[in-house]
Chains A and B, each alone.
Chain A
Amino acid sequence: MNSKAYSLFLKDFKSELRTRYAINALAMFIIVAISVILFSVGNEKISPSLTGGLFWVVIFFTAMSGLSRAFVSEEERGTALTLQLIAAPSTVFSGKLIFNIILVFAMNTIIAILYSAMFEAFIIKNFALFLTSFVFGNIGLAVSSTIIAAIIAKAGAKGTLYPVLSFPILLPLILTSVQLTLFAFDGISFERAKFELAIVVSYDVIMLTASYMLFDFIWKE
């Protein structure tokens, strides 16, 4: 199953390189969102807590602008039927998930680099904690975004439905990830952050399990 999912990921990756379906939308959103924040902040110094919050706001809305493409592009082009004819549902979900995980990591790494270069208050004192929360936060974001994309791909008003449906599902993850980012800014130890880390890891496990269980029903009309 893994090699089939990897082949599906490769197909999506090569397709993305040729069509620029998601990359352009994501890149433009990152540039516009960070520019607007910089213009509105001006010369004022913003606190680390606000910087941490704004960091995850940009991540959330960037994900909303690009991650639905994994399934929406297949439905819009009419190729979803082709996928149903060549792969088992679990293969399709795994392939799309690998693509979204890589996209989320690339996108959020760029956002983090831009933030650390442009915002003075974005100083990470406990880098290991930041990295851990970043990794688990990104996995949770990718898993949730992928299964929600599969649900909304068959609906009419996809663009509106995606953030509306994602917000309540991603809220626990985003809130906890903001908290962990602030802990990393404050240099708080792993020991004191273990409760929040446990929430993020549990969220990832629950979402991943639920997604694999539900995907068959979502994928088959």
Chain B
Amino acid sequence: MTSYSVEALGLNKSFGRRLIFNDLQFKFDKAGVYGVSGPNGSGKSTLVKIIAGIIGASKGKIVHKLNDKEIVAEKLHNHIGFVSPYLVLYEEFSVYENFNFFAEIRGVKFNKDRIDYLLEKFLLFKRKDELLKTYSSGMKQRVKFIFGLMHSPNLLILDEPTSNLDDEGKNSIFELVQEEGQNSIVLIASNEKSDLELCSDIIYLEKYK
């Protein structure tokens, strides 16, 4: 059994003179569903981007560990799944082509069985060979979930996971979050009460100004 942990050590982020959050500390070292909440502009997306290694912090750092061994920044992307409304996949390719390229660029084998399972789960299997630009925004949101899950990440980051989804879509995401939370760390950044109800522990960003 692998153990994964993510820890924030005195995290501070400012954009120019505007302080987003200061001295943020947390540690998630057990599989489960955790949350990040705060009003609009409080830095939820900024925090999850820092955790995913997309942007840097102004002060402090995030430490990712796998079996008590720190993961180097160069290899972090293979352990993280990230889903957000501002994530854009390649619209000139089909869903299958997108995932094939992502697997090759990651340097992992294209796991057809897992992709097919996820496509079936998100009701997209029949349209797997169609170009992504022909998909509706709700379908694209579901494709992003497959993107986040295709490599079985240790840490799944979901930024506003239920935006663009109908009630049926939201329910399947809630099911998936609880399922993933059994074996990996799931971090949800959201203001939606229904999203945050799934979380066992929540970071309220307004406390860190």
Question: How many B residues are at the interface, by size bracket?
Answer: 20 to 34
In the complex, chain B residues whose CB is within 8 Å of the CB of A4: 104-107
In the complex, what distance in Å separates the CA atom of A141 from the CA atom of B13? Answer: 37
Contact flags A124-161 to B (C-beta < 8 A → 1, else 0): 00000000000000000000000000000000000000
| Interface residue from A3, A11, A95 paired with B107 (Cβ < 8 Å) | A3
B92 and A220: CB pair below 8 A?
no
The reply to whether the CB of B1 lies closer than 8 angstroms to some CB of chain A is no
- Could you count the A-B residue pairs with CB atoms below 8 Å apart for me: how many are there? 71
Of B63-71, B72-80, B176-184, B193-201, the one contacting chain A is B72-80
Q: Which of A18, A91, A221 meets B54, CB within 8 Å?
A: A221
Given A3-B107, A79-B90, are A86 and B102 neighbors across the interface (CB < 8 Å)? Answer: yes
Which residues from 38 to 68 on chain B have a C-beta closer than 8 Å to any C-beta of chain A? 52-56
| B101 interface residue per 8 A CB criterion | yes
Are A82's CB and B55's CB within 8 A?
Answer: no
Given A15-B93, A78-B88, A81-B88, decide whether A7 and B104 contact each other with a Cβ distance below 8 A.
yes
- Contact of B19 with A by CB under 8 A: no
Interface pair B88/A77, CB less than 8 Å apart: yes
User: B92 touching A18 by the CB < 8 A rule?
Assistant: yes
Interface class of chain A by DSSP:
helix
Q: Write the A188-221 contact mask toward B (1 if CB under 8 angstroms, else 0).
A: 0000000000000000000000000000000011
> With an 8 A cutoff between CB atoms, is A28 at the interface?
no
Min CB distance A161 to B, Å, is 21
Q: Given A79-B88, A85-B54, A220-B56, does the pair A11, B80 have CB atoms closer than 8 Å?
A: no
How many Å from the CB of B88 to the closest CB on chain A?
4
Which residues of B78-103 have CB atoms within 8 Å of chain A's CB atoms? 80, 82, 86-93, 97, 101-102
Contact A78 B101 (CB under 8 A): no
Q: With CB as the reference atom, state the residue of chain B lying closest to A3.
A: B107
- The smallest beta-carbon distance between B7 and chain A, in angstroms, is 20
**Distance, CA A196 to CA B147, complexed state (A):** 50
Residue among A8, A77, A90 making CB contact with B105, cutoff 8 Å: A8
A19 sits at the interface (CB 8 A): yes
| Known A220-B55, A220-B56; contact A87-B89, beta-carbon cutoff 8 A | no
Q: State whether A88 touches B101 (Cβ < 8 A).
A: no
> Looking across the interface, which residue of chain B has its beta carbon closest to that of A219?
B54
A82–B54 alpha-carbon span in the complex (Å): 10
Q: Are B90 and A91 in contact (CB under 8 A)?
A: no
Complex Cα distance A85/B53, Å? 9
| A78 engages B104 (CB within 8 Å) | no
Query: Are A88 and B75 in contact (CB-based, < 8 A)?
Result: yes
Q: Which residues of B contact A78 (CB under 8 A)?
A: 86-88
The chain A residue with its CB closest to the CB of B97 is A14
| Structural contact, A81 and B101, CB atoms closer than 8 A | no
Q: Scan residues 140-189 of chain A and give those whose CB is less than 8 A from a CB of chain B.
A: none
Residues from chain A with Cβ under 8 Å of B74 in the complex: 88-90
Beta-carbon contact of A15 and B107 below 8 Å: no
Tell me which of A7, A19, A89, A91 contacts B101 (CB under 8 A): A7
Q: Which residue of B lies closest to A78 (CB)?
A: B88
Q: Is the CB of B88 within 8 A of A82?
A: yes
Per-position binary interface string of chain A over residues 3-17, scored 1 when its CB falls under 8 Å from any chain B CB and 0 otherwise: 110011011001100
Binding site for B on A (CB under 8 A): 3-4, 7-8, 10-11, 14-15, 18-19, 77-79, 81-82, 84-91, 95, 220-221
